[in-house]
Structure 1
Amino acid sequence: MKFPVFDINSNKVFEQIALKIYRYQLEKNPVYRQYCNLIKKTDASILEEIPFLPIQFFKSHEVQSNTQSPEITFTSSGTTGSIVSKHRVTDLNVYNQSLDQSFKTTYGAIKDYVILALLPHYLDRTGSSLVYMAQGWINDSNHPKSGFYLNNIEELAQVLKSFENSNQKVILIGVTFALLQLAEEYAMPLKNVIIIETGGMKGMRKEIVKPELHHILKTAFPQASIQSEYGMTELLSQAYASDGINFTTPNWMKVSTRDTNDPLSGIAYGKTGGLNIIDLANYNSCPFIATQDLGKSFENGSFQVLGRFDHSDIRGCNLMAVD
């Protein structure tokens, strides 16, 4: 079933479509239906009443609202032997449209950019939605210098320097630990460059808080715009922070916060809590997800990410036995 999620132009339309997809999920998604039955939340009539599925179910269950075979399965990164999340994507056209529209809305025409991807850790494995996104950007930019710079920071630095005396716009997207290495070894002005950090130490370095990371990057690359991307395996949409801190969402995505002690209850704007995400592009899996991230949501629709829950499992997951 198709939903016109990419044509949403108001909060009213968002709520109407979200409620239709909620009812569709109850009918077609056995994991979501069972969860809603167990918490007795099967009759939502307004947006705020829609329940959010704990994200851990993507590790233990096949979260899908149709019977089609997946065109691709995205998997989360993890340590050796750990259980990873699996997002079975049955319609790649939906994901591609989400990627294209989000980029155009945030940055303009992708053909105006050189896309440089500094994703050495993620390229070592298959199934990364981040790598899929970056590959799509690289293909669409159609610039000879666009590409992945796998474990080749020296070459990347030379490419960046080659654009210093031009007006060519550049996007450098990378995981945190690789960007820190670039900053330590090849500090330079980087005018006309947008650096998008996607998070991710993955055990490669000691974790640091985002303000410290951005201070390091701004010191090393004083003329670059330091920005952030928020996405995950279980989503088909991304949020971007032009200031590196305050994320904005596309029209088919909303973020709210829940009480850390009572995960079925929402909390007021500006208060720290668990982040709940509605990603309506996700209607073929589950669009209503309770993440393991801590943050704040605001009345204007923006949000901040402050960290992670200390415990790997959020209450509510225990309501369903792992198959």
Structure 2
Amino acid sequence: MDKKRIQDIFSITSASEFEALALEVFHFQYSNNTVYKTYCNLLKRTPENVQAIRDIPFLPIAFFKTHQVISSRSKPTVIFESSGTTSGNTSKHFVTDIDLYQQSFGKGFTHFYGPVEDYCILALLPSYLEREGSSLIYMVNDMIQNSKNPHSGFYLNNLDELKGKLKQLRAEKTKTLLIGVSFALLDLAEQFPMSLENVILMETGGMKGRRKELIREELHDILKNAFGVSSIHSEYGMTELLSQAYSKGNGLFECPPWMQIITRDTEDPLEIQSHGKTGGINIIDLANVNSCSFIATQDLGKTYPDGTFEVLGRFDHSDIRGCNLMAL
């Protein structure tokens, strides 16, 4: 797609505009992404019979572990990599236009929270800092730089220093965002409970094997009690995407205008699930135009008519269907 049309992705204002661009992106990726085209052909879903969003095939996210999923002839400038599992099997996202990623996460944050330069950004992301290739670290580092606040920065295991910084910022009444991985926020809550009533506290999920997994509600209750806040915000993103959804504390996530969540039937991956019913989460991320914008994740959730959605958990690996239709 030409650059001007790609920029239109960030100007979507209606459902009809979203659908028109989604179908255009589908046509482009079908023609330019070998992995996705092969998958679509096996499902007999081609530009000739895909007439609406519900007809578009969603590529199982597992293919990012085994194939180079790319819809551009340009060479990748950045390769983002997931944290992986004990088997070392990681997802790789080959990004050919890093500016597009910067636009997506920058405009997405501004859409929900206002200009990043209004904030002091504190990041407690030790498991991500300890490895290379994290798209989350790239995003947060860019936000820290653009905040232009001298107190913005990353924290690894220096929780005592972070405690002091939070107390200083609170005393100065500085608008502050603390974004952290779940296990590190729990460490901070246990070691240094304190009042953070004027801080936006945002978790990115994940215990990364450091702690017992908790349901989101339980995690949020612990953090709210420790820090005296009424709500915990959440960020929902992944290595394979260029966009993020956010929750401001009620367990319901919202997408920026160029992103949409659709759920699929847990038994039939090609059947779209109705609102309010638990299904597998399919993501449309139109900013991901040079990779794949239509991804079937291994997360479970519910969507609602107002466009919000919940994340309820993950498929058990034995239950994942539709991921073995293609062997290249």
Question: What is the TM-score of this pair, normalised by structure 1?
Answer: 0.97
Kept in 1, the 8 Å contact 2:220–2:231? The answer is no
Deviations 1:218-275 (A, max 9, x none): 0001136410000000000000000251000000000011000001101110000100
1:65-214 pair list within 5 angstroms: 65-214=71-220
Aligned residue number for residue 11 of structure 2: 7
| Residue of structure 2 equivalent to 1:26 | 30
Per the TM alignment, residue 167 of structure 1 is displaced from its structure 2 partner at its CA by: 2.0
- The partner residue of 1:236 within 231, 242, 265 is 242
What's the C-alpha RMSD, in Å, of the aligned pairs?
1.2
TM-fit CA distance, 1:80: 4.2
Partner Cα separation in structure 2 for residue 134 and residue 240 of structure 1? 14
Does 1:305 pair with 2:295?
no
Q: Is the 8 A contact 1:228 1:244 kept in 2?
A: no
Does structure 2 conserve the Cα–Cα contact (< 8 Å) formed by 1:55 and 1:289? Answer: yes
Give the deviation of 1:319 after TM superposition.
Answer: 1.2
- Is the contact made by 1:119 and 1:149 (CA closer than 8 Å) also made in structure 2? yes
Q: Given the alignment of the two structures, is residue 295 of structure 1 paired with residue 301 of structure 2, yes or no?
A: yes
Q: CA deviation at 1:185?
A: 0.8
1:40 to 27, 38, 44: 44
TM-score, reference length from structure 2:
0.96
Structure 1, residues 164-220: CA drift from partner, whole Å, max 9, x if none? 222211000000000000000111111320011000111100101110000000000
Q: Partners of 2:125 and 2:168 in 1: how far apart?
A: 21
Q: Deviations over 1:281-314 (max 9, x none)?
A: 0010000000000000111111000000001773
SS at match of 1:317: coil
Say if 1:308 and 1:275 are closer, same or farther in 2 by CA, change over 3 A.
same
The separation in 1 between residues aligned to 2:33 and 2:183, in whole angstroms, is 38
Query: Partners of 2:241 and 2:166 in 1: how far apart?
Result: 31
Q: 1:14 corresponds to which letter in structure 2?
A: F
Deviation string for 1:48-96 (max 9, x for gaps)? 1111000000001110011211110100002344210000000011111
* CA distance in structure 2 between the partners assigned to 1:11 and 1:50 by the alignment: 16
Q: In terms of mean alpha carbon deviation, does 105-114 or 178-187 score higher?
A: 105-114
**Residue from 50, 64, 71 that aligns with 2:70:** 64
- For the Cα contact (< 8 Å) 2:121–2:176, is it kept in 1? yes
Contact 2:283-2:297 within 8 A present in 1 as well: yes
Question: CA, structure 1 residues 306+318, in 2 after alignment: closer, same or farther (shift >3 Å)?
Answer: same
Q: Which runs of 5+ in 2 are unaligned?
A: none
Q: Any idea what the Cα deviations from partners look like across 1:121-157, whole Å, max 9, x if unmatched?
A: 1101110011011101100011111000111111001
Q: Offset at 1:317?
A: 1.9
Q: For 1:272, which of 273, 278, 281 is the aligned residue?
A: 278
Structure 1 unaligned spans of 5+:
none
% identical aligned pairs? 57
Residues 168-177 or 158-167, more deviating: 158-167
